[in-house]
Amino acid sequence: MPYLSLLQSFELAEILSEEPDRCRLTLLGSLPSTWIGPIDPEDCRLRAIIRIEKAAFASAHAGSLFKDFIHKVEVIESTDIYTWFAGWISSQASEINQPQGDVKINVICPATDVHVRKYTKQGSILVQETPELYHRITEPYIAGFPPERTRWVAEIAAGRAEQSKILYSSSDYLILPDMKWDLHTTGSLYLVAIARDPTLRSLRDLRGDVHLDLLKSIRQEAYRIVGDKWGIGRGGLRMWIHYQPSYYHFHVHIVNANYELPGMGMSVGQAHLLEDVIALLSVNAKVFEVMTLTYGLGEQHGLYEPMKAAQDEVDWISPSSG
């Protein structure tokens, strides 16, 4: 049976589901009755659901991906050592003007040892970071973080990079699309708010009497922007702060609430909802200075060995019996 020609005769009625995180699309439409055999001389159409998703890349052909697989690329953005491309697998895809491309390609060049460790597949553990361990282990680690890892943030804040993409700018912070977003698919909408203050590095530095207005303003402007541009209303966004973050310059992730990201990025123990952070700081202005934080660390992370070794110092409080 000529299945390809039958699939080409598919008539779309409705998109049932978009799952950009899984590279999957579920469609409702119709196929000719010949799909199930020559049973209707009038060739009536049958309702059909088609789910299409990208298959995993074949690692055996990794060396030839850009020679034989990718037909065309266009730069989405380039900042410091980071460049992002849209790629098209076939000439036909580019000819029909598929603006987001078939694949998104991220390039880090030159890549440091820190980058290599970050992207290497690794096991992880949960650790507890007391205020004392933060001051003894984590704070010196943050202070020694290579400045080139956040140079791209400084370039944006100084007005030398990505200015055409900025959606909001004030003296305290700016909002722009995150590099993870293709800039087209609303279902996977992904923005980031970046504080201008370089001394504000992570969740631990937040103080209610100083930063509540900043956090509330980020929440307000994020909803105003996505409401005006993409029609997303209250409750339609998931906003969070990572601890530990991938870079130590304070930022808030802003994502379509229906977008479920794979991996650790939104896992318990790393992502702290902005709403919860605002609520906690409203109750205790110094809560992130005095509380013990539990989070996941990959074995390639620079904090992994010292924090793992220090876990015997953390008191485990068992619930009382009876």
Q: Which residues are annotated as a binding site?
A: 152, 162, 178, 180, 242-253
Q: Which two tokens stand for residue 39?
A: 């049973």
Q: In terms of DSSP H, where are the helices of 65-150? A: 91-95, 113-119, 131-133, 139-143
Residues flagged as binding site for substrate: 152, 162, 178, 180, 242-253
Eight-class DSSP state of 319? P
Whether the ω angle into residue 244 lies within 30 degrees of 0, i.e. cis, is: yes
Q: 148 Cβ partners below 8 Å, 6+ apart? A: 80, 81, 112
Active site residue 251: yes
Residue 300 and residue 113: Cα distance in Å, rounded? 10
Q: How far apart are CA 116 and CA 113, in angstroms?
A: 5
Catalytic one among 71, 115, 184, 251?
Answer: 251
Beta bridge partners of 32: 45
Query: How crowded is residue 108: how many other Cβ atoms within 10 Å of its Cβ?
Result: 14
Measured in degrees and rounded to the nearest 5, phi and psi for residue 16 equal: -80, -35
Tokens of 70: 């990718």
Q: Which residues are known to be catalytic?
A: 251
